[in-house]
Structure 1
């Protein structure tokens, strides 16, 4: 399942934010003293939660926590770099020659947090839940599993399914049969007393904060960080104030003058991680009901060439974002597979206003007295939608509106509530939307392509598109994705031609107009804890809201001096 992977500034008035932050922090205690006598081992984290927590630790229906920390996958896949997956509840796996059978060896001597033994029955039970409850099946599991004994599982597929491996192994979170077999609707029921195999258990829950405690019986040994407290504040401005007051140890959100964080926030450091790719998503496909100037590829190409990406990066993102490829291979990580057939390997950081205008004129547009292009009596006027309070995106879009005015395109920014924005994005009730495309379960661009460019992920306008919001549909891309699904990712030579097809067709269409690669900013209390990911050793995505990566970080941290 694709999701937005970004926490943005709240836009609340500063006075209200500071009052709310002070009240919550006073109630929850500081990162230096939680009143329990073991404050030095307590990690205080803020994910951007701007309302009270609602208790639910069902890993298939809640996003507040529990994935990786309480409920574990079989393996951990690092999406930042090509590396062998790390064993978690399983220790080994292998495919048969044609990719139709996945054999998994489970870890022995693992116990659930209530003391019950973990076995292959729990894995079979979890996979069966996904088969019977489609709404739980975000990993797209479509295999048949058997267990020859308590420590082995065999998953059989109807067709070659190498690319299903990271989803099955790394994005399915195993639940205990003895606890879940009596849950009426596991896809939606609330779980308030979770039992897992992970490094943490739920110690306390309040609407303003919840606390994990280190699992003393964890198979990997109890973590050095004995408690982790997640706060609910009023938004990113209150998070920044809490950081400045040393009340938060870990958050991922913009802060002013982030490049001087060690001066402005003594004891803290920041890590900027390029990962998700920011785009102007367009409702692009008239055959699926899209209407408006953005359905014309010439308009989309003109916008692409009219953007001043360097200026946008400076004004909206403090220079923390970076270049983006129009074929949506992730620069650096995917260098080896970025197509040599692309017109531009990297989207231009400077505008080419003359080229943008020429593209429009070649398509029959003519400038009117106001300097705006028109065709068939209609001005080239477009509305782009974002969420009220997303200050960096609002600044970016206001900047882009001024840039495109020079091209002859009128861009109007409309701010919506989160619920309205999400509904309109999924239903196709928009012309342009600014969003980010997230990566999949493994460091392979195939997953992004299948989410956002496969016809199976979209729907007619008015219907719900699961991931492909731009309504992109191209038979050549669908055939290439189908072929990639059957190939072993290690067979790079056989895959490259299909990756070339996807990237060049995507660049030609511009259904998603590339803006920049988002630099996810994470601030962390280096004077209090050691073991954080670094740019040289990115053992996990450091964002506090990224699961199961955040569990990997928690396990590796140690209080200073311990």
Structure 2
């Protein structure tokens, strides 16, 4: 495949809860005036609410699991590839690329006359440095890059592998932020927070405060200074605060639920909404005793019982305003990836209604018995579990409350433990949890391979106490690892060979269920259509329209233009 520089550009949050005092706070933070037209007083400033609860802690290290932003906006990849469509990659720091016939060599031509935001020239050496840094630092190598890279001159690099690496392409080309060698040669990418980021992207850091930070348009950006001159990211206390801010016109874009979500344009004049099913909501479980997990959820029978005790229709109605849809326990999307679902899986789609008898059969078959209070226990341990959730994520909190009632009827106790986003993230990453509610992202491209590689391989997990880059369930299965490796070496056009490996992976994850499927979330964003034009539509999903999705959000920022008064 060859992608030229002249290719025309094509035209998986959150949640929370607050009151009137918080609305006053957000108005002050955003520096905006309320009004039916929405948005800030500056016509070319976009105010974004990503679901951040509590103060921001400065960290623009794109390789840190606690980074707060900058991927796509400050740090760019070689191309832009989205997992919401199957269109050709959009050139960024790369202008064209070619694979050899067996997928062992990838040649990339780099864009000329690009400068870092500190004025230093961008060259092939920066690309080589970035990928070598990833090779030398396994904990940040979440894409599984295992090749070599060399620069043939200042604008050409060559990637080589000792195996077919077609599936590595989207990660290499799009999901690897390129960093400047002249700065990062002195940085530890695993521990350093980047407070003064230097990138090639369309925006640079303007100012930072714990309650909000601002990126400003880069006047020297290789593709021209963006029409949106500033991005202001504000911290609120929840979904209710986000809805109040929309009503007051103090934010321009958020992704998350609002009351009466089907009538956003009526209830919030000047705003419109878009809902896209993509990220699959789950209960993460710390599942592996071998890697240090403790608690009832380490028993696969408990995980399966929870799966069958859910009334997903009720949860969808009460927590998600019927914006969610069915989910497969294989985690292949039932829409765009249905052909990849193994015909050897007895139930390709999770049941929408609770089956408490099935849950009881599974638990009792594993030695659990109800106590006098109607709760199952085993070896004196009651089947009582805690679900970690971010404070103010009202839809997820409602989902847990609903789930608690459903599971209690099946003899299982669950309760919510609310914490800040930073604490919640740390608990998940280090395995200091029993259950945690969130969603699984789709990875680098529209292919279930990437989800399996990210969330189900041993290389992406770690012992409890150590930070797991993606596979926080601590799932490890040699057969799955081998199947994922085989997929990585298989030509993407060989459907039969790929399905053989999908069958192996899906059988294992359905049997073990380290991530308990809830539903496929309908990701809804509300945006200020009266102030800016160029937003994605269902007919033109050029990027995944979630404010927290990087680098997709950066592509949207670049497409937007302020509407004239």
- Report deviation, 1:48: 2.6
Matched with 1:330 is 333
C-alpha contact 1:24 1:233 (8 A) present in aligned 2: no
Matched with 1:304 is 307
1:161 aligned onto 2:139 = no
The SS at the match of 1:552 is helix
For 2:185 and 2:429, the matched residues in 1 are separated by 34
1:292-371 mapped onto 2 (5 Å cutoff): 292-371=295-374
C-alpha contact 2:254 2:525 (8 A) present in aligned 1: yes
For 1:289 and 1:58, the matched residues in 2 are separated by 29
Matched with 2:175 is 171
For 1:552 and 1:141, the matched residues in 2 are separated by 24
For 1:420 and 1:202, the matched residues in 2 are separated by 25
1:92 aligned onto 2:96 = yes
- Report deviation, 1:376: 4.8
For 2:216 and 2:434, the matched residues in 1 are separated by 47
Q: How many residues align?
A: 552
Pair 1:426–1:108, CA change in 2 (3 A): closer
1:522 aligned onto 2:529 = no
For 1:317 and 1:472, the matched residues in 2 are separated by 28
Matched with 1:122 is 126
**Bigger mean CA offset, 227-236 vs 305-314:** 227-236
C-alpha contact 2:429 2:466 (8 A) present in aligned 1: yes
For 2:263 and 2:275, the matched residues in 1 are separated by 13
Matched with 1:148 is 152
For 1:438 and 1:199, the matched residues in 2 are separated by 25
Pair 1:192–1:378, CA change in 2 (3 A): closer
**Bigger mean CA offset, 158-167 vs 81-90:** 158-167
C-alpha contact 1:160 1:485 (8 A) present in aligned 2: yes
**Bigger mean CA offset, 93-102 vs 209-218:** 209-218
For 1:304 and 1:532, the matched residues in 2 are separated by 37
Matched with 1:8 is 15
TM-score by length of 1: 0.89
C-alpha contact 1:80 1:333 (8 A) present in aligned 2: no
C-alpha contact 1:327 1:506 (8 A) present in aligned 2: yes
Matched with 1:478 is 481
C-alpha contact 1:101 1:155 (8 A) present in aligned 2: yes
- Report deviation, 1:51: 4.0
Find 2:25's aligned residue among 9, 20, 26.
Answer: 20
* CA RMSD after TM alignment: 2.9
Q: Deviations over 1:418-454 (max 9, x none)?
A: 4554444344444333232222122221121122221
- Report deviation, 1:101: 1.9
Pair 1:336–1:92, CA change in 2 (3 A): farther
Which 5+ residue runs of structure 1 have no aligned equivalent?
none
Pair 1:400–1:246, CA change in 2 (3 A): same
For 1:147 and 1:508, the matched residues in 2 are separated by 45
Which 5+ residue runs of structure 2 have no aligned equivalent?
1-11
**Bigger mean CA offset, 271-280 vs 127-136:** 127-136
**Bigger mean CA offset, 185-194 vs 281-290:** 185-194
Pair 1:435–1:200, CA change in 2 (3 A): closer
Pair 1:357–1:560, CA change in 2 (3 A): same
C-alpha contact 2:40 2:47 (8 A) present in aligned 1: no
For 2:214 and 2:465, the matched residues in 1 are separated by 41
For 1:225 and 1:435, the matched residues in 2 are separated by 31
For 2:466 and 2:200, the matched residues in 1 are separated by 39
For 1:42 and 1:64, the matched residues in 2 are separated by 19
1:376-395 mapped onto 2 (5 Å cutoff): 376=379, 378-395=381-398
For 1:482 and 1:98, the matched residues in 2 are separated by 16
Pair 1:149–1:383, CA change in 2 (3 A): closer
The SS at the match of 1:476 is helix
Q: Deviations over 1:148-175 (max 9, x none)?
A: 2222100122433222221111112223
Q: Deviations over 1:22-50 (max 9, x none)?
A: 33234899997867xxx333222222334
1:52-63 mapped onto 2 (5 Å cutoff): 52-61=55-64, 63=67
For 1:417 and 1:57, the matched residues in 2 are separated by 19
For 1:127 and 1:288, the matched residues in 2 are separated by 29
TM-score by length of 2: 0.89
Matched with 2:509 is 506
For 2:40 and 2:308, the matched residues in 1 are separated by 53
Pair 1:458–1:263, CA change in 2 (3 A): same
Pair 1:191–1:482, CA change in 2 (3 A): closer
**Bigger mean CA offset, 252-261 vs 466-475:** 466-475
Find 1:437's aligned residue among 430, 435, 440.
Answer: 440
The SS at the match of 2:87 is coil
Pair 1:274–1:384, CA change in 2 (3 A): same
1:251 aligned onto 2:258 = no
C-alpha contact 2:487 2:498 (8 A) present in aligned 1: yes
The SS at the match of 2:240 is helix
The SS at the match of 1:407 is coil
For 1:213 and 1:465, the matched residues in 2 are separated by 33
